[in-house]
A and B are shown apart, each in its own frame.
Chain A
Amino acid sequence: MTLTDRVAAIFEKVFGIEASTFSPTLAPEDVLRWDSLGHMTLVMELEDTFGVHFDVDELTELNSGGRVIEMLRAKGVKD
């Protein structure tokens, strides 16, 4: 399973969207449940799944499917 597939699965779990509809351009404006509560759940799920920690200043950069993947890679998560 690639990193993109794993992130897509998390988006499906957190936001209730089909993993197959996940794309790097997906943003909060496109996903009904990607509100403040959804973002909190997403961050915690990403941190738990990949064993990473996002600093306060990084939290607002997790603003699209693509940025989530980029930031996980930057934290050493392998594809």
Chain B
Amino acid sequence: MKIAIKEFGEEHVAAVRQFNCRLKAGGATLCFPESPIPEWLPKSPGRKVFQEHYLAIDEGGDVRGAYTLKHQEFWIKDRVVSIADFRLPISEGIINRRYASVAVQLLRDALARQPLLFGLGMGGYDEPVARLLQAAGWSMHTVPFFFRIIRPVHFLRNITYLRRSRAMHGVLDALALSGIGSLGVRTVQAFRRRVRPDLTVDVKEVKDFNGFADRLWETCHSQYGMTAVRNDETMQALYPEDDPRFTRLEVSDRGRPLGYAVLINTAHTGHKYFGDMRLGSIVSCFGHTDSTANVVSAAAEHLESQGVDLIVSNHSHVAWQQGFRRAGFLSWRSNVIFAASKALTEMLSRAGVTNEQLHFNRGDGDGPVNL
């Protein structure tokens, strides 16, 4: 069985559709994009963050697997390096053992194209992709999850993730009806909150960062061990101003940029985790590492004013984790994992970058999906 990896071209569209049909018929819930030009972050002249799709094609022209590389510039300790996110790997091996080898081929091919690879998300250590990367010797690190409950009754009534049994239904309904839940949630969050309103901090909602992200990037990127380049150009590519989902906040102190946040506010219906809640998400943050609590508080207050029931976020950098805790956020088990290839792990190790200095949030990797 000879299988070769090729870049997705127009001539492969029909074969990708058939691949998706076979996956679906076999009971798989995953499918691969059916256009050779990525809908999100397509390649364009001069753009430094872009995606490419690759296909595993057999001798008969059938597609047996696929993956995407999201190329992006990252700051690592003292330099900017282009690395890539290994995304959407799908192999026909998930429905047909005959193709069990394809996933390994996809991963090795991606590494041959870009040895400095990472994966982000994956849904937990037991998921197939996470297990594959772990078996391949990648280093794995959990990106902590933070949440703050704004409307406890709505939360208790809708948190599908916790309402999995009749018993939990009963307990959560009782907590919601009795008022004990609200009281408990508010007490715990208030007790955890350590940041006080700062009258000199100015929070501005903007349509685009227009120089603000560039100024911030220049002054504070060296405070991070590893972070995606987050200048104006990259932020515009990731969170374009014509996309109505995103809210951008600039946070300054007497004219000095402290940080920014990109937010999403979504009214869910029947979500597998969040039921019918209005969910606020802090998808991306950046700024001075001593000002994280100010930025997180500003973001949370903005989302609260928009009527969200719950605010969620994932952050790996220790300063941002502290900022979330000081802003009254609680943490919970995270299913977001950062995995680094051997070459990237070695580069980080040589540069002396520790896990606590990695800056990844929910908007990195696959972007703000499922929010």
Q: A residues bordering B, Cβ < 8 Å?
A: 27-29, 34-41, 43-44, 56-57, 59-63
Contacts and interface: CB of A to CB of B under 8 A. Distances in A.
Interface stretch (B129-137, B179-187, B235-243, B317-325): B129-137
B106 to A, nearest CB: 9
Contacts of A63: 1, 98, 101
B104 A35 contact: no
A38 B103 CA distance: 11
Interface stretch (B2-10, B67-75, B343-351): B2-10
Contacts of B93: 28, 35-36, 39
B4 A57 contact: yes
Nearest to B64: A60
B136 A62 contact: no
A28 B98 contact: yes
Contacts of A29: 97-98
B136 A60 contact: no
Contact of A37 (B3, B98, B132): B132
A36 B100 contact: yes
Contacts of A38: 100
B97 A59 contact: no
Contacts of B56: 60
28 contacts: A28-B100, A28-B101, A29-B97, A34-B97, A35-B93, A36-B94, A36-B100, A36-B104, A37-B135, A38-B100, A39-B93, A39-B103, A39-B104, A40-B103, A40-B132, A40-B136, A43-B104, A44-B135, A44-B136, A44-B137, A56-B5, A57-B2, A59-B101, A59-B104, A59-B105, A59-B108, A60-B2, A63-B1
B64 to A, nearest CB: 8
B100 A34 contact: yes
A65 B124 CA distance: 32
B102 interface: yes
B25 interface: no
Contact of B105 (A34, A35, A44, A60): A60
Contact of B3 (A27, A36, A60): A60
Given A36-B93, A37-B132, A57-B4, A62 B101 contact: yes
Nearest to A32: B97
A22 B1 CA distance: 21
Contact of B102 (A34, A36, A41, A44): A36
Interface in B215-251: none
Interface string B114-128: 000000000000001
A61 B100 contact: no
Contacts of B98: 27-29, 63
Contacts of A28: 93, 97-98, 100-101
A26 B33 CA distance: 34
Interface residues of B, number: 28
When A and B form their complex, which 6 residue pairs have the shortest distance between CB atoms, in order from nearest?
A36-B103, A28-B97, A28-B100, A59-B105, A60-B3, A60-B101
Given A34-B97, A35-B93, A40-B132, A56 B103 contact: no
Contact of B100 (A39, A44, A57): A39
A75 B102 CA distance: 21
Contact of A36 (B1, B5, B128, B137): B128
Q: Which of A29, A36, A57, A63 neighbours the largest number of chain B CB atoms within 10 Å of its CB?
A: A36
A44 B133 CA distance: 12
B103 A60 contact: no
Contacts of B131: 37
Contacts of A61: 1-2
A63 B112 CA distance: 22
A36 B109 contact: no
Contacts of B128: 36-37
Interface in B1-29: 1-5
B281 interface: no
A38 to B, nearest CB: 7
A36 B137 CA distance: 15
B341 interface: no
